[in-house]
Amino acid sequence: MKIGYYQFNPEFGNVENNIEKMTKALESVHADLIVLPELATSGYLFTNKEEPRSLAEKFPGILSKEFLRLSEKTGTSYVVGFPEYAEEGVYNSAALITPEGIQYIYRKTHLFFEEKKYFLPGKEYKIVDVKGYKIGILICFDHMFPEAARTLALKGAQVICHPSNLVLPEYGQLTTRVRALENRVFWILANRIGTEERGGSKLVYTGESQILSPKGEIINRAGAEEESVFVTEIDPEEAADKKVTEFNNIFEDRRPEIYTL
Ligand code: ACM
């Protein structure tokens, strides 16, 4: 299975430009699965509730149309972050878009900082199929909750896709390595780069997108500041091996009866 990411600097508020930038960058890249950052269509640093609502995708919108066209052309599936319009409010979501259509939308379950003012939290973790392999999705701050990745792994995830806008230096790059190795899964962290300054606040995004093996090895890591497309070949079946030693299996050795969760 060929997996990869696109790390770039979305321009705040310019959905059309951001979608054009992503689709242009990926037009001649062929893989099975490519992950893009969190809120890649809109940017991140909102200053009021109206902004995420007005920048949100109301299906079917420009994101669906352009990524479906791209997916049909390249044969690649994409996981891309965007604000999702719903009757009841806006979600911080990521869509799995394949040549066959939009297969799944994950809604971020752990909202970070002021996201709590702008978004509703999602309520489920689900496994979806890409080319016969089991894929799970988490978004950014979800990485701080080992239960989220563990739930996906227990449901059979072989590859976890992780669109992000990480701002705490080294946190996400460290935890995702641990999540990959403690669950024995592949992990695609697609982070963004750049700086946003709006309404008196400033955020610097940490880049360093990375692909991790089920042993926590860094297969590839992007730079902290440059735009980057990367694709590599993996064997997702390696994620079936939950053995740590001859005597230890990461799932069978769990002791849920004595945990407080
Ligand atoms: C984050 O969850 N965007 C830090």
Separation between Cα atoms, residue 122 and residue 106, nearest integer Å = 7
Q: Quick check: 261 pLDDT over 90?
A: no
| 51 Cβ inside 6 Å of ligand 1 | no
Given pLDDT bands bounded at 50, 70 and 90, which one contains residue 59? confident
Residues 203-251: tens digit of each pLDDT? 999 999 999 999 999 999 999 999 999 999 999 999 999 999 999 999 9
> Does the pTM exceed 0.75?
yes
- Average pLDDT score, the chain: 98
Please count the other Cβ atoms lying within 10 Å of the Cβ belonging to residue 225.
Answer: 16
| Ordered DSSP codes for 109-122 | SS--TTHHHH-BPP
Ligand 1 centroid, distance to 111 Cα (angstroms): 7
Mean of the pLDDT values across residues 175-199?
98
| 141 Cβ inside 6 Å of ligand 1 | yes
| 166 Cβ inside 6 Å of ligand 1 | yes
In the set 108, 115, 134, 196, the catalytic residue is 108
Residues 103-157: tens digit of each pLDDT? 999 999 999 999 999 999 999 999 999 999 999 999 999 999 999 999 999 999 9
Residue 140 falls in the annotated catalytic set: yes
Each domain of the chain, given as residue ranges in start order, spans: 2-258
DSSP code of residue 139: -
In the set 21, 51, 134, 140, the catalytic residue is 140
Please count the other Cβ atoms lying within 10 Å of the Cβ belonging to residue 139.
Answer: 30
Mean of the pLDDT values across residues 160-176?
97
Separation between Cα atoms, residue 223 and residue 30, nearest integer Å = 22
User: C-alpha distances in angstroms, 181 versus 10, 140, 175, 185?
Assistant: 30, 18, 10, 7
| Ordered DSSP codes for 147-203 | HHHHHHHHTT-SEEEEE----STTHHHHHHHHHHHHHT-EEEEE---SEEEETTEEE
Ligand 1 centroid, distance to 154 Cα (angstroms): 24
Q: Quick check: 81 pLDDT over 80?
A: yes
- For ligand 1, atom 3, the nearest C-alpha belongs to 165
Separation between Cα atoms, residue 198 and residue 182, nearest integer Å = 38
Ligand 1 centroid, distance to 233 Cα (angstroms): 28
Residue 116 falls in the annotated catalytic set: no
Separation between Cα atoms, residue 183 and residue 57, nearest integer Å = 33
Ligand 1 centroid, distance to 135 Cα (angstroms): 21
Residue 161 falls in the annotated catalytic set: no
| Residue count of the chain | 261
Query: Is domain 2-258 annotated with CATH 3.30.450.20?
Result: no
| 140 Cβ inside 6 Å of ligand 1 | yes
For residue 25, with 0-12 CB atoms within 10 Å meaning exposed, 13-18 middle and 19 or more buried, which class applies? middle
- 129: its two tokens: 């199929």
| 165 Cβ inside 6 Å of ligand 1 | yes
Q: Quick check: 187 pLDDT over 80?
A: yes
CB 90 within 8 A of CB 84: yes
CA dihedral defined by 34, 39, 42, 43, rounded to 10 degrees?
A: -110
